Structure 1
Amino acid sequence: MGNGSVVGVDRTVDQVFGAGDPQRVGSFRFYLDGERWEWSDAVAQMHGYTPGTITPTTELLLSHKHPDDQRQVAKILERMISDAEPFSSRHRIIDTTGRTRHVIVVGDRLLDNTDAVIGTSGFYIDVTDTLDTDLQESVTEAVDELEKTRAVIEQAKGALMLVYGISADRAFDVLTWRSQHTNTKLRAIATQLVQELATNAGSPSESFRARFDHLLITVHERIPQQ
Structure 2
Amino acid sequence: MTSPDPTESGPDEGSRTVVTRPASVGSFTFWFANQRWEWSAEVYRMHGYAPGQIVPTTELLLSHKHPEDRDLVAELIERTLAQGEPFSSRHRFLDTSGRVHTVMVIADQVLDDDGEPVGTTGYYLDLTETVDAVAEAAATEAIGGVVAARAVVEQAKGVLMRMYGIDAEQAFKVLVWRSQETNVKLRDIAACVIAGLKLIPRPPVQTVTAFDHLLLTCHERITSTTEA
Q: TM-score, with normalisation over the residues of structure 2?
A: 0.52
Distance in 2 between the 1:84 and 1:64 partners?
A: 23
Equivalent residue, structure 2, for 1:118:
118
Higher relative contact order (CA 8 A, sep 6+): 2
8 Å contact kept, 2:23–2:173: no
Spell out, residue by residue over 1:159-205, the C-alpha distance to the aligned partner (whole angstroms, 9 max, x if none): xxxxxxxxxxxxxxxxxxxxxxxxxx9xx9xxxxxxxxxxxxxxxxx
Q: CA deviation at 1:87?
A: 4.9
Q: CA deviation at 1:51?
A: 0.3
Residues 15-164 of structure 1: pairs in structure 2 closer than 5 A: 24-132=24-132, 133=136, 136=170, 137-139=172-174, 145=193, 148=197, 151-152=200-201
Q: Percent identity?
A: 44
Letter in 1 for 2:201: V
SS of residue in 1 equivalent to 2:69: helix
Q: CA deviation at 1:114?
A: 4.1
Q: CA deviation at 1:125?
A: 0.3
> What is the root-mean-square deviation of aligned Cα atoms in Å?
4.1
Q: CA deviation at 1:22?
A: 8.7
8 Å contact kept, 1:47–1:96: yes
8 Å contact kept, 2:26–2:124: yes
Distance in 2 between the 1:28 and 1:22 partners?
A: 18
Q: CA deviation at 1:23?
A: 7.9
The 1:54–1:21 alpha-carbon spacing in structure 2 relative to 1, beyond 3 Å, is: farther
Spell out, residue by residue over 1:38-89, the C-alpha distance to the aligned partner (whole angstroms, 9 max, x if none): 0100011111110011111111111100001111111111111221213532
The 1:40–1:83 alpha-carbon spacing in structure 2 relative to 1, beyond 3 Å, is: same
Distance in 1 between the 2:108 and 2:27 partners?
A: 12
Unpaired segments ≥5 residues, structure 2: 1-9, 12-17, 140-168, 179-189, 207-217, 222-227
Q: CA deviation at 1:115?
A: 2.8
SS of residue in 2 equivalent to 1:122: strand
8 Å contact kept, 2:131–2:173: no
Distance in 2 between the 1:35 and 1:62 partners?
A: 14
8 Å contact kept, 2:105–2:122: yes
Distance in 2 between the 1:149 and 1:106 partners?
A: 20
Letter in 2 for 1:28: F
Distance in 2 between the 1:90 and 1:71 partners?
A: 13
Spell out, residue by residue over 1:144-166, the C-alpha distance to the aligned partner (whole angstroms, 9 max, x if none): 959958842869x9xxxxxxxxx
Equivalent residue, structure 2, for 1:6:
none
SS of residue in 2 equivalent to 1:77: helix
SS of residue in 2 equivalent to 1:52: coil
Distance in 1 between the 2:105 and 2:201 partners?
A: 21
The 1:148–1:105 alpha-carbon spacing in structure 2 relative to 1, beyond 3 Å, is: farther
Residues 203-214 of structure 1: pairs in structure 2 closer than 5 A: none
The 1:88–1:32 alpha-carbon spacing in structure 2 relative to 1, beyond 3 Å, is: closer
